[in-house]
Chains A and B, each alone.
Chain A
Amino acid sequence: GENVEQHPSTLSVQEGDSAVIKCTYSDSASNYFPWYKQELGKRPQLIIDIRSNVGEKKDQRIAVTLNKTAKHFSLHITETQPEDSAVYFCAASRGKIIFGKGTRLHILP
């Protein structure tokens, strides 16, 4: 079945710098790749997603890139702000959705 690896597990960046989180997946048939943000004690919330027919998608300070050949995709957050501090999860899907183990992002003042 699908396996999703996510790195790093923890990431600290200075406020205003960029953050990059990387994921790889194993099932070449996966065709939908969402990213979720989870704040402490709350449910995961979608921040951006990409489908397999697209290589890149951007929404304000957030962008996701997908390399189907290499089976990896990445989340890029630019101009980081304190409210970006949270746990971020990538996922891959071709029906059921399998998540990576998460990245705890700390934005340092």
Chain B
Amino acid sequence: NAGVTQTPKFQVLKTGQSMTLQCAQDMNHNSMYWYRQDPGMGLRLIYYSASEGTTDKGEVPNGYNVSRLNKREFSLRLESAAPSQTSVYFCASREWNSPLHFGNGTRLTVT
């Protein structure tokens, strides 16, 4: 039982490049989330999907897009990466009013 799987683990991009962070869960959870973590800023919500077919903005959605491909998968896309998007990105999933289960994170550096 893998839980929440994120790929890649590490990525270095140049300013202006695009990429997609992948996330998949095998717990049959309805809700999925993308957070970014920066020193001293805690975990900030980028986008979330309460159920398959729906997505909503979080606290810091600018510069990102998401796709809830099916119940298992929720991807995060950076269309034109900026140095301010250097961060650790966590995907998570859960059922309503239950704990979040986090993936191991993607460490992204934009130069």
Report A's interface with B, CB cutoff 8 A.
1, 6, 9, 31-32, 34, 36, 42-46, 49, 51, 89, 91, 93, 95-102
Contacts and interface: CB of A to CB of B under 8 A. Distances in A.
A101 B42 contact: yes
Nearest to A32: B97
3 A-B pairs with the lowest CB-CB distances in the bound complex, closest first:
A101-B42, A43-B102, A99-B43
Interface string B34-56: 01000011111100101000001
A75 to B, nearest CB: 15
Contacts of A42: 104
Contact of B97 (A9, A31, A91, A96): A31
Contacts, number: 51
Contact of B42 (A43, A45, A99): A99
B30 to A, nearest CB: 11
B90 interface: yes
Contacts of A31: 97
B100 interface: yes
Contacts of A51: 97
Given A43-B105, A96-B56, A98-B59, A34 B40 contact: no
Contacts of B90: 43-44
Contacts of B42: 6, 89, 99-102
Given A43-B103, A51-B97, 13 more contacts: A32-B97, A34-B99, A46-B99, A46-B100, A49-B99, A89-B43, A96-B50, A97-B94, A97-B100, A98-B45, A99-B43, A100-B42, A101-B41
A96 B48 contact: yes
B74 interface: no
Contact of B40 (A89, A95, A99, A101): A101
Contacts of B40: 9, 101-102
B33 A96 contact: yes
A97 B35 CA distance: 10
Nearest to A6: B42
A17 to B, nearest CB: 25
Contacts of B48: 96
